Chains A and B, each alone.
Chain A
Amino acid sequence: QVQLQESGPGLVKPSEALSLTCSVSGDSVSSYYWGWIRQPPGKGLEWIGHIFYSGSTNYNPSFKSRVTISLDTSKNQFSLKLSSVTAADTAVYYCARVGVGRDGFDVWGQGTMVTVSS
């Protein structure tokens, strides 16, 4: 059974960087694509970016200058870094596996709430 678990600080100060890690069990990050999606409180879902098993990435242009997604095959994890955060980045952040086609997120983490506040 594939499971994903997000971890990282729940509170980040404005202008600082948000860093989250997604730990994968039951599958290898060396297969499939892996992605990050966020959901502001009371709002809909927003794709942040993908990382492919090769390590190449694909980012939402809305975040492109601020976002970095990386893969750590030795720890079977992938990570998200979002720099220069503002209150608008307050959201639940989900990691997910793209198990169907190039955009079908078939396994999700439980999500982690990140609040941007001083």
Chain B
Amino acid sequence: QSVLTQPPSASGTPGQRVTISCSGSSSNIGSNTVNWYQQLPGTAPKLLIYNNNQRPSGVPDRFSGSKSGTSASLAISGLQSEDEADYYCAAWDDSLNGPVFGGGTKLTVL
């Protein structure tokens, strides 16, 4: 059971916009910033979004993040086949005194 809650799956067609939600509590998302990771099949996770809505260098602006209260969202616009991956949200948890992850959302591009 993950501390942060994500839908197990999401899907969309090429060109579509999809969003993935991440729900937490006051001890994590409610009081700290959210990071998102993309894990392509068989590879290590990659930092996709940090500090709620910042993109590391090299990440396309098709990816965007937002946060409100104890929830966060990742949006992917102009969906492409190479976006098919698992996506994880994460945030520092003040009770754990460390980062917690969501269970992951498997994105399928139809």
Question: Which of chain B's residues have a CB closer than 8 A to the CB of A50?
Answer: 98
CB within 8 Å for A47 and B33 given contacts A103-B92, A111-B44: no
Say yes or no: A103 contacts B102, CB within 8 Å: no
**How many Å lie between the Cα of A102 and that of B92 in the bound state?**
8
**How many Å lie between the Cα of A58 and that of B43 in the bound state?**
26
**How many Å lie between the Cα of A111 and that of B42 in the bound state?**
10
Q: Interface code B15-58, partner A: CB below 8 Å = 1, 0 otherwise?
A: 00000000000000000110101000001111100110000100
Chain B min CB distance to A48 (Å):
9
A-contacting residues, B73-110, CB 8 Å: 88, 90-92, 96-104
Chain B min CB distance to A92 (Å):
9
Say yes or no: A108 contacts B90, CB within 8 Å: no
Say yes or no: B51 contacts A101, CB within 8 Å: yes
CB within 8 Å for A47 and B98 given contacts A104-B35, A106-B56: yes
**How many Å lie between the Cα of A31 and that of B90 in the bound state?**
23
> Is B68 interfacial (CB 8 A cutoff)?
no
Say yes or no: B103 contacts A58, CB within 8 Å: no
The closest CB in chain A to the CB of B44 belongs to A108
B-contacting residues, A8-55, CB 8 Å: 37, 44-47, 49-50
CB within 8 Å for A94 and B35 given contacts A100-B50, A104-B50: no
Say yes or no: B104 contacts A45, CB within 8 Å: yes
Question: Which of chain B's residues have a CB closer than 8 A to the CB of A61?
Answer: 96
Say yes or no: A44 contacts B47, CB within 8 Å: no
Question: Which of chain A's residues have a CB closer than 8 A to the CB of B100?
Answer: 47
CB within 8 Å for A47 and B44 given contacts A60-B96, A100-B51, A106-B56: no
Say yes or no: B102 contacts A106, CB within 8 Å: no
Question: Which of chain B's residues have a CB closer than 8 A to the CB of A105?
Answer: 35, 37, 45, 47
Say yes or no: B104 contacts A44, CB within 8 Å: yes
Interchain residue pairs with CB less than 8 A apart (18): A37-B45, A44-B88, A44-B102, A45-B37, A45-B101, A47-B100, A60-B96, A61-B96, A94-B44, A100-B50, A101-B33, A101-B92, A104-B47, A104-B51, A105-B45, A106-B47, A106-B56, A108-B46
